[in-house]
Amino acid sequence: MRDLTTRSRMLLLVTVLSALVIAYNLKLTNGADAKPMRIDTVAESVTPPNLLLAKWEGPYGGVPPFDRVKVADFKPALEAGMAENLADVGRIAKDPAPPTFENTIAAMERAGQALDRVQTIYGVFGSTMNGPDFQVVQREMAPRLAAFNDQITQNTELFKRIETVYKSPEKAKLNPEQQRLTWLYYTNFVRAGARLGPGAKARLSEINQKLAGLYTKFSQNVLAEEDGQTIVLKSEGAWVISNTRSSVDPFLTYSSNRELREKAWRMFINRGDNGDEHDNNATITEILQLRAERAKLLGYPTHAHWRLENAMAKTPENAMELMMQVWKPAVARVHEEVADMQALADKEGAKIKIEPWDYRYYAEKVRTARYDLDQNEVKQYLQLEKLREGIFWVAGELFNFNFTPATNVPVVHPDVRVWEVTDKTTKRHIGLWYFDPYARAGKRSGAWMNAYRSQERVDGEITTIVSNNANFVKGKPGEPLLISWDDALTMFHEFGHALHGLNSNVTYPSLSGTAVSRDYVEFPSQLLEHWLSTPEVLQRFAVHYQTGKPIPQSLVERIKRAATFNQGFITVEYLSAALVDMKLHLAGDKKIDADAFEKATLAELGMPDEIVMRHRTPQFLHVFASDGYSAGYYSYLWSDVLTADAYGAFVEAGGPYDHKVAERLRKYIFSVGNTVDPAEAYRSFRGRDPRTEALMKKRGFSGTEAKTAAGQ
Ligand SMILES: [Zn+2]
């Protein structure tokens, strides 16, 4: 059901080097209201929830009232929004007129707008303003929202109307976007169980509600482990390593204290796996069994088959084939990387065998020794605000966008800034871009994009509102904030998602912007990462924070030479997690012990001893915090095939700023949302199907050229 309405998604970056991201649907319902309900009839003793339900007011077609939200308002507003949406859907289902595209499919696109608005703000609070009060609301509302979704997809009269429109000869007379939307509704309803009998439907809804509760439990456990555990470095004053990636990874990279490295590593990889009240193993077993049962009910062999059916990969076999094609050379590369690190450690007289807690530390030493590349040297040229100007400039070159600060727009926190996006030539208003760059309590880690409002024109032009979010540690006032090369890539990545939303040019909100299939959505974002290292960007925007001088060419050359360095580690760390995810969901209804399954699967794959999965099963939020990326973590690799291959189109033409290729990119990829089948869209852009060669080359896994680049 989460795929029913992919209108708004939060695309979330969890790792940096290879820019792997999770995306999941934030909102579960279609929205719109011909007749907004009288809100004051719904309110209980708290503040009337009309603020959250009401049409957004202010400039730019209205903006979210972030400055006036109270956590206590969410529950009554969600309840009122759901009631209104169900009333809308009921009217559509019971319409005495024969079903047509307009009175059924388009009407569904208009239904539930108030709930859509509430859920947007609810999602922003969940990810950036989360606290104990909010978590209570989440625990209560997650199963109820799941049940609400089932009430829509299990509405027999509604499904009959959708099916009639879908199977009617009249469908051929609709325009292509309308035909695709009709197909999407029909398919999503069928996939959500619309054709099942009453008994099966009831069980399905029970499963969905149980799963929603278990997902909330799983993610709150991981958060508790991340918040609750630390290592204090007594010898170095007040330093504390918190149990999060942004704290642990730099420590593992730079600390020479091997004992503490091991301690930090163990703390981090055992999140959710400590046999205490936050242990996730039993929850995982239950989730996997419920998912397997649901897949069977819906007529699929496994959860993986169900999930992949409407993805670009289509079958688990296709996804597995790509993963295994990359897995073997990646493992071989890891053995080379380990040998290099072992040689360096031996030369230093360290008298150790490389262990997982040594990998980042020695990899950094090899990088410095072999490429004369010190990350701290690079950082001095990477100022957050300069790079922000850089991404604006790139958007201007590729898509003719202009960015102007938008004042008087309410924000959820004073750190958030807003820009208006317009067309450089026509001055037409395109949308708003919110930027929330700094870490704070109650904000989830990582980086992500979120759409607050999708572009559409069902009843007149609605422009989009998108946001980019990150977790940079705020610098001192007046001092430029310096970020790493990987963080700079992340900025370009998330901005790629934002541009996917901003370029959207469709009619129906369910097909807008980033509402595309999961293994396609990372393509535009990963593609944009390529523009960071273009000479145009580096010359203008990678300037030294003190001297203002552009990054020296010799340093750029060293960065380029080191581009495929450590790709064995990056790829194996990611792919092992993707493979375990897929195999867990191909295992059927066996009662699975997560730890034992993980161990056996990795042994069978020949996982190098020196690396651990990027997300071990008991902390794998992509897979167990929602249906999200379950049987879908492979998507980053799938999208990266397209990314690497698509950048080739620029290289083969006039370079990264070739206007003709950029125009094709806009026309066939960035503007079409989900109005076109992704494989077809890609073919229109590239003139052929994607090939994997470019990916293998990008990661340094093909041919002698790449091997030399990565060192012996
Ligand atoms: Zn992404």
Q: Which residue has the higher pLDDT, 445 or 275?
A: 275
With beta carbons less than 8 A apart as the criterion, state whether 317 and 310 touch: no
Average pLDDT of the residues in 103-114? 97
DSSP assignment letter at 12? E
pLDDT at residue number 689 = 94
pLDDT at residue number 471 = 86
Q: What angle do CA 41, 45, 49 make, to 5 degrees?
A: 55
Q: What is the Å distance from ligand 1's center to 21 Cα?
A: 4
Q: What is the Å distance from ligand 1's center to 11 Cα?
A: 5
pLDDT at residue number 166 = 98
* pLDDT tens-digit map of 408-428: 999 999 999 999 999 999 999
According to DSSP H, which parts of 625-677 are helical? 635-652, 659-665
pLDDT at residue number 238 = 62
Nearest residue to 517 via CA among 667, 627, 678, 640: 678
Residue 433's φ and ψ, nearest 5 degrees, are -125, 115
Distances (CA, A) of 386 to 72, 470, 574: 39, 16, 31
Q: What is the Å distance from ligand 1's center to 260 Cα?
A: 33
Q: How far is CA 473 from the centre of its chain?
A: 21
Q: Answer whether residue 38 shows pLDDT above 50.
A: no
Q: Which residue has the higher pLDDT, 152 or 242?
A: 152
pLDDT at residue number 1 = 28
With beta carbons less than 8 A apart as the criterion, state whether 502 and 430 touch: yes
DSSP assignment letter at 317? H
Percent of the chain surpassing pLDDT 90: 80
Classify 340 as helix, strand or coil.
helix
Average pLDDT over the chain reads 89
Non-local CB neighbours of 442 within 8 Å, separated by 6+ positions:
128, 129, 130, 131, 134
* pLDDT tens-digit map of 56-102: 999 999 999 999 999 999 999 999 999 999 999 999 999 999 999 99
Q: What is the Å distance from ligand 1's center to 33 Cα?
A: 31
Q: How far apart are the first and last CA of the chain?
A: 49
Q: Answer whether residue 19 shows pLDDT above 60.
A: no
Q: Answer whether residue 640 shows pLDDT above 80.
A: yes
Percent of the chain surpassing pLDDT 70: 91
DSSP states along 381-447: T-BHHHHHHHHHHHHHHHH-EEEEE--S---SSTT-EEEEEEETTT--EEEEEEEEEE--TT--SSE
Q: Answer whether residue 712 shows pLDDT above 60.
A: no
* Tokens representing residue 13 in the block: 């970056």
Q: What is the Å distance from ligand 1's center to 526 Cα?
A: 7
Of the ranges 214-223, 403-412, 501-510, 539-548, which one carries the lowest mean pLDDT score? 214-223
Classify 34 as helix, strand or coil.
coil
585: part of which helix (H) or strand (E)? Answer: helix 567-586
pLDDT at residue number 695 = 94
Q: Which residue has the higher pLDDT, 475 or 692?
A: 692
Q: What is the Å distance from ligand 1's center to 13 Cα?
A: 6
24: which strand partners?
A: 10
Of the ranges 153-157, 233-237, 649-653, which one carries the lowest mean pLDDT score? 233-237
Q: What is the Å distance from ligand 1's center to 128 Cα?
A: 18
Average pLDDT of the residues in 430-459? 92
Report the C-alpha gap between 259 and 85 in whole angstroms.
Answer: 57
Q: What is the Å distance from ligand 1's center to 430 Cα?
A: 22
Residue 455's φ and ψ, nearest 5 degrees, are -70, 140
Report the C-alpha gap between 327 and 637 in whole angstroms.
Answer: 11
Burial readout 416-435 (b: 16 or more C-beta within 10 A, e: otherwise): bbbbbbbeeeeeeebbbbbb
Instruction: Tell me whether residue 22 is exposed, middle or buried, using C-beta atoms within 10 angstroms of its C-beta: 0 to 12, 13 to 18, 19 or more.
Output: buried
pLDDT at residue number 3 = 31
Q: What is the Å distance from ligand 1's center to 518 Cα?
A: 10
Show which residues are catalytic.
494
Q: Answer whether residue 25 shows pLDDT above 50.
A: no
Whole-number CA gyration radius for the chain: 25
Q: What is the Å distance from ligand 1's center to 508 Cα?
A: 23
pLDDT at residue number 179 = 98
Q: How many CB atoms lie within 10 A of CB 460?
A: 7
Report the C-alpha gap between 652 and 648 in whole angstroms.
Answer: 6
Report the C-alpha gap between 357 and 610 in whole angstroms.
Answer: 8
* pLDDT tens-digit map of 589-629: 889 999 999 999 999 999 999 999 999 999 999 999 999 89
251-255 contacts: CB < 8 A, separation 24 or more? Answer: 252/357, 252/359, 252/360, 252/361, 253/360, 253/361, 253/363, 253/364, 254/361, 254/364, 255/361
pLDDT confidence bin for 34, thresholds 50/70/90 = very low
Q: Answer whether residue 11 shows pLDDT above 80.
A: no
Average pLDDT of the residues in 153-163? 97
* pLDDT tens-digit map of 340-397: 999 999 999 999 999 999 999 999 999 999 998 888 899 999 999 999 999 999 999 9
Q: How many CB atoms lie within 10 A of CB 237?
A: 7
pLDDT confidence bin for 703, thresholds 50/70/90 = low
With beta carbons less than 8 A apart as the criterion, state whether 152 and 90 touch: no
Q: How many CB atoms lie within 10 A of CB 571?
A: 23
324: part of which helix (H) or strand (E)? Answer: helix 316-348
With beta carbons less than 8 A apart as the criterion, state whether 665 and 685 touch: yes
Non-local CB neighbours of 580 within 8 Å, separated by 6+ positions:
597, 598, 601, 602, 613, 617
Q: Answer whether residue 466 shows pLDDT above 60.
A: yes
Task: List the 9-13 sheet strands across, edge first.
Answer: 21-25, 9-13, 447-453, 464-472, 429-438, 417-423, 401-405
Report the C-alpha gap between 448 and 496 in whole angstroms.
Answer: 11
Q: What is the Å distance from ligand 1's center to 261 Cα?
A: 30
pLDDT confidence bin for 570, thresholds 50/70/90 = very high
Q: Answer whether residue 39 shows pLDDT above 50.
A: no
